[in-house]
Amino acid sequence: MIRAISVDMDGTFLDENGEYNRARFERIYAELVKHQIKFIVASGNQYYQLKSFFPGKDEELFYVAENGAVIFHQGELRSVNRFEERLVQKILRTLIQEYQDLQVILCGVKSAYLLKAADSNFKTFAKKYYFELQEVDSFDVLPDDTFIKFALDVEVTKTGQIVEDLNRTFTGEIRAVASGHGSIDIIIPGVTKGSAIQQLLNEWRVTPDDLLAFGDANNDIEMLQLTPNSYAMEESSPEVFATAKYIAPSNKEAGVLQVIEDYMEKSQRP
């Protein structure tokens, strides 16, 4: 029996235009509430961006944001995993000195931060995903915040090599993971969407067998590994296909909503 559902957003719940069928979701969500099934939005993106997709539901939904670094519910920060300031400075020095063509966002709980000198196209891109975003002159003096993630934009063809290089340079201190389309997240080792969702399941006394999970990129793998009810989207990375038990229709066809509807219909049959 499904008691919780977790969904990645980009490439999974959202279509190619970054939207979803809101009327259809409202009908489905009413059934989820009726059956006391909790809905978890699990993304590498910022909480303030994620909640904008669900107006009026911020009090109800659970948000696992920044790849599991934070959990928000009812507009409040429920859990946070942070980088030590010394390590933040060390990572920034490495990124700026060794990867001149790389764009970086420093993600905090209060806001995200990028350099005023960053590429204008990257700034436009960043504003789409970070609703709380500040430009700073430099990272020599860190803003007054708790730092939870680094988001990088690199050439797509260099993604794999940069991920490998960063994980080797900072062995045991960080984990770099590709999140699709030339994006790389630097996260705290052991902190993933999966670890955050497991924390919620423990609080609710829900077993992973009662979780339904959907994803498409490598930062979804730990979440999909939690449960036998795991779905890779039709357009997913090879690693996600190898992890998930099932394949959902494309995000362009509202595949997540299709699968949830099927589950709800089956659960109501005598």
d(CA 73, CA 67): 16
Q: Can you tell me whether residue 229 is helix, strand or coil?
A: coil
Asked whether 153 and 147 are in contact (CB, 8 A), the reply is no
Q: Measured between alpha carbons, how far is 170 from 124 in angstroms, rounded to an integer?
A: 30
Q: Are 131 and 52 contacting, i.e. CB atoms less than 8 angstroms apart?
A: yes
Residues annotated as part of the active site: 8
Count of alpha carbons within 13 Å of 4, Cβ hemisphere only? 26
3-state secondary structure of 142: coil
Q: CA 248 to CA 111: how far, in whole Å?
A: 34
Strand order across the 62-65 sheet: 76-80, 70-73, 62-65, 38-42, 4-7, 211-215, 230-233, 246-248
Q: Which residues pair with 192 in a beta bridge?
A: none
The packing angle between helices 22-34 and 255-267, to 10°, is 30
